[in-house]
Structure 1
Amino acid sequence: MMIYAALVMATVLAIRPASADPVELATFRDLPRPEPTLQIAYGEDPAQGVDVFLPDGPGPHPVAVLLHGGCWSANTAGREQMRHLGPELTRRGIAVWSIGYRRANEAGGGYPGTYQDVGAALDRLAEEASSYRLDLSRVVLAGHSAGGHLALWAASRGSVPAASPLHGPLRVVPRAVISLGGVGDLGTFARFVPVLCGPGIVERLAPTDKLVEISPAALTPSAGLIVMVSGVLDRLVPPWVAHDYARTLKSKPVVAPKLINVPDAGHFDLVTPSAPAWQQVRALVEEALELR
């Protein structure tokens, strides 16, 4: 009943007049994106890299791990699409570890490569933490869209079946995962991927017989807090997607995800600094890192 009531409320909010138009893709694409403090390669492919933004001060710095979206497709920008958020967080004392990965429709991407890349980039964070004064006890994962799926998966990969090529120890255990218009249940969402992302993506990213390894809904998250943030006006990943994921976790020994529906926000408001929705997201990051 609580989920039904939340969905009804989301519908009511969606049909009332919006106070501002949602941020469009073209506006998001045109945002200025500064160069990171440094870039770290964890593999030979250009996509296998991390953008690092470091704040001033001696540290150790809390860390926001960012995972970019883009339909898991190389037809969109890679990790550079999140560079505009680097200064937004470093000026608040938060280091940024923004992960790139091979997408489903490029060589080596899909299953298992995309997931292995995310795992390797997080393992590299554990290896480099002392060099860059990063505090591994204060880490939050924040992923947008397709990156929301990968952030949820990364926090759950400790429960991947032992026989899987994706199985391995969690070297970085985040305090929280913040999914921004992300997908937690690939089983229910897979049928929409061809429409949104084009042909071939879902077949390479999420083979039906591998869902127990790569759908966060089939796994158990290790983070103490999971926050599913949805724009009420999001036409790409509507709020019901987050509710579907939350429902699957009811049978697991974890704290129920926190569901946040942001009025008047679309898919890209959640990662656009000028949008009110981003101010709410940034506050969630700061709270998770105990900076508020």
Structure 2
Amino acid sequence: MDASSRIGRRTLLAVGGALPLAACVGGGGTSGSDPTGSGSGRLSYGDDPSQWAQRQVPEGPSRGTVVVIHGGFWRARYGADLGEPLAQDLTARGWTTLNVEYRRVGNGGGFPQTFDDVHAALELVQGPGPVVTLGHSAGGHLAAWAAGRLRTGEWTGQVEVTHVISQAGVLDLTAAYRAGLGSGAVHDLLGVGPEDPRYDLVDPRRQVPLEVPLWAVHAPDDGQVPISQSVDYVTAATAAGGDAELAEVTGGHFDLIDVDSAAWTRIVQILDGISPA
């Protein structure tokens, strides 16, 4: 990606105070030739047009699977095309990737549909090795939630997350609700305030400690999701005996999904340090 392409993309990402997260629309990826096997291709996990994931398999042995979960404050105007460059880069580095689309607020998502979809997509993971959830912004929330979802008793399955990388994730839904992040995005997602017990099921801050390592990658100059979301989560998780680490980077909110950025290099370094299962 050249400099002019990066500038154009970041301009799109930053447009509009009411659209504070990534502003590319629609589903990404292309249909593949192996929809049911273990090779590359688009996999459906339901009948809705948003219930799919694009799997890419590297040449040679796979290092494990990275499940890419896009952001966009859980809203339908943002789609899995945001995660496609990340998935392509990681596949070239030897990872099997699963770039997940899911129902969002405005196209049938919310509670519990959004969570049901991410859970169902995770159950598509095949093969040995670590299972890493990697999510940006609202996707960072879903990546962290996914690692603890089977403990809640509301979702049952076979695929367990082994590592989490949250890219400027919304890791405290209660604080995000009270701060009005994303023009009320948390209320739009859940339909209720923090006093409702559903927060106990889906708020990562209330689920510490996770049983797996989590890296909270965040920039102090993030103007969309404050770094306090990551700092406070890591503080609470480590105090509870969890394995959580804050990784500060530069570049605001969007460098974390720019594969030519220093922030992305830091994320790749974290993945390089994950040992095969």
Q: TM-score range by the shorter chain?
A: 0.7 to 0.9
Residues 223 and 173 (structure 1), Cα distance of their counterparts in 2 relative to 1, 3 Å cut: farther
Corresponding residue of 1:80: 81
What is the DSSP-based 3-state SS (H/G/I as helix, E as strand, rest coil) of the residue aligned with 1:155?
Answer: helix
2:207 is matched with 219
Q: Deviations over 1:23-59 (max 9, x none)?
A: 83526768xx7747411000111111001111112x3
1:229 alignment partner, SS class = strand
Contact 2:208 2:236 in 1 (8 A): no
Aligned-pair RMSD on alpha carbons?
2.5
The answer on whether the counterparts of 1:105 and 1:200 sit within 8 Å (CA) in structure 2 is: no
Q: 1:281 aligns with which of 261, 267, 274?
A: 267
**Which of 186, 192, 214 lines up with 1:207 in the alignment?**
192
Is 1:234 aligned to 2:237, yes or no?
A: no
Q: Counterpart in 2 of 1:62?
A: 64
User: SS in structure 2 opposite 1:86?
Assistant: helix
Q: Which residue matches 2:135?
A: 143
Q: Is the 8 A contact 1:63 1:96 kept in 2?
A: yes
Paired residue type of 2:251: A
Q: Is the 8 A contact 2:177 2:184 kept in 1?
A: no
Consecutive unaligned residues of structure 1, counting only runs of 5 or more, are: 1-20
SS in 1 for 2:260: coil
Assess if the C-alpha contact under 8 Å between 2:168 and 2:218 holds in 1: yes
Deviations for 1:200-258, whole angstroms, at most 9, x for unmatched residues?
65243363311111101111454431100001221011211101212332453422x10
For 1:106 and 1:213, how far apart are their aligned partners in 2?
22
Q: 2: distance between equivalents of 1:141 and 1:69? A: 13
| Alignment CA distance shift 1:176-1:229 (3 Å) | same
1:33-52 correspondence runs (5 A): 35=30, 37-52=40-55
Partner of 1:156: 148
- Give the drift of 1:104: 2.2
Q: Secondary structure at the match of 1:84?
A: helix
Show the 5 A alignment for 1:105-124. Answer: 105-107=106-108, 109-124=109-124
Tell whether 2:160 aligns with 1:181: no
Distance 1:251 1:188 in 2: 18
User: Relative to 1, partners in 2 of residues 1:228 and 1:154: Cα closer, same or farther, differing over 3 Å?
Assistant: same
> Aligned residues, how many?
248
In the alignment, structure 1 residue 261 sits paired with structure 2 residue 261: no
**Mapped partners of 1:223, 1:51: distance in 2:** 27
Q: Which residue of 2 aligns with 1:104?
A: 105
**Structure 1 residues 281 and 206 mapped into 2: Cα distance closer, same or farther (>3 Å)?**
farther
SS in 1 for 2:66: strand
Single out whichever of 40-49 and 213-222 deviates more from structure 2.
Answer: 213-222
Q: Which residue of 2 aligns with 1:89?
A: 90
Tell me the TM-score normalized by structure 1. Answer: 0.77
Q: Tell me, which stretches of 5 or more residues in structure 2 are unaligned?
A: 1-6, 14-21, 33-39
Moved more, 145-154 or 229-238: 229-238
Measure the CA separation in 2 of the matches of 1:94 and 1:186.
30
Name the structure, 1 or 2, with higher relative contact order (CA <8 Å, separation 6+). Answer: 1
- 1:149, 1:184 within 8 Å by CA — same for their partners in 2? yes
**Residue 282 of structure 1, CA deviation:** 1.2
State the match for 1:26 in structure 2: 12
Residues 112 and 282 from structure 1, CA distance in 2 versus in 1: closer, same or farther, beyond 3 angstroms?
same
8 Å CA contact 1:34, 1:84 repeated in 2: no
Paired residue secondary structure (2:216): strand
Shift of 1:122: 0.8
* Contact 1:64 1:94 (8 Å CA) reproduced: yes
Secondary structure of 2:143's aligned partner: helix
Q: What secondary structure, in the 3-state scheme, does the structure 2 residue paired with 1:50 have?
A: strand
User: Structure 1 25/290 Cα, relative in aligned 2: closer, same or farther at 3 Å?
Assistant: farther
